[in-house]
Amino acid sequence: DAGVIQSPRHEVTEMGQEVTLRCKPISGHNSLFWYRQTMMRGLELLIYFNNNVPIDDSGMPEDRFSAKMPNASFSTLKIQPSEPRDSAVYFCASNFGGSDTQYFGPGTRLTVL
Amino acid sequence: KQEVTQIPAALSVPEGENLVLNCSFTDSAIYNLQWFRQDPGKGLTSLLLIQSSQREQTSGRLNASLDKSSGRSTLYIAASQPGDSATYLCAFPRSSASKIIFGSGTRLSIRP
């Protein structure tokens, strides 16, 4: 299995631009998680989906952030407009069952100038 | 509110030593507990998962224990190697449907 796939691996953009991060979970997994990791705040759960439905989005920082999961094999995390404080590494993870072992993607390092 | 503490924040030991990493939590109502490893610039890799009804899990040189009554979990690494250098995080959900809470991690460095 290829594992969780994220793209792009690195993204540098200017403040105010729209950013879209992509994730392909492991085939057969029915839960997908988006995390953000910074030095200051550590690893934070932004949102998680179960069977393509958002279950808990309480970690989404503000309305500039949105996430979708149109099918079982694809999810996006969009930031519009982006701000410098959004700079972080964004991880996607998946599993079968919300609390089972999670498998993480390699992350997307986002830099907003 | 569940709080998770990992002590120490950083640890440096010579190769070959046995070591213990600690994870403390304030609410004993956890569903399971997981230990992850994160290498610099990489994602997280799951090491061990202990179900709420279990007390420990072993994988190779790693042994994780869980004591819900005291709110503690430990990760024991035997005969440490330079390749064990990484950040180790504990994490757990309160129920099967709740989100997972991560500790801040212990940054481990094994000196050759």
> Minimal CA–CA distance to A20: which of A84, A66, A70, A87?
A66
Touching B: A residues 81-110, CB under 8 Å:
91, 93, 97-107, 109
Query: Per the CB < 8 Å rule, is A56 touching B43?
Result: no
- Per-residue pLDDT of chain A (113 residues), as tens digits, is 689 999 999 999 999 999 999 999 999 999 999 999 988 888 888 998 999 999 888 889 889 999 999 999 999 999 999 999 999 999 999 988 755 788 899 999 999 99
Q: Residue B19 is inside which H or E element, if any? A: strand B19-25
What is the pairing mode between strands B86-92 and A19-24? unpaired
Q: What is the DSSP string of B92-104?
A: E-SSTTSPPEE--
Burial zone of B41 (CB within 10 Å; 0-12 exposed, 13-18 middle, 19+ buried): exposed
Min Cα separation A82/chain B (Å): 22
| Average pLDDT of the segment spanning B50-72 | 92
Half-sphere exposure of A30 (CA within 13 A, CB side): 8
d(CA A106, CA A113): 22
- Please report which confidence band the pLDDT of residue B93 belongs to, taking 50, 70 and 90 as the band edges: confident
The fraction of chain B above a pLDDT of 70, given in percent, is 93
The fraction of chain B above a pLDDT of 90, given in percent, is 57
The torsion angles phi and psi of A84, rounded to 5 degrees, stand at: -55, -35
What pLDDT was estimated at residue A1?
Answer: 64
Q: Residue B21 is inside which H or E element, if any? A: strand B19-25
- Please report which confidence band the pLDDT of residue B1 belongs to, taking 50, 70 and 90 as the band edges: low
Using alpha carbons, list the distances in angstroms from residue B58 to A100, B40, B62, B64: 17, 25, 6, 6
Touching A: B residues 2-61, CB under 8 Å:
31-32, 34, 36, 41-46, 49
**A64 φ/ψ sector (left φ>0, alpha ψ -120 to 50, else beta):** alpha
What pLDDT was estimated at residue B31?
Answer: 77
What pLDDT was estimated at residue A70?
Answer: 96
Query: Per the CB < 8 Å rule, is B89 touching A100?
Result: no
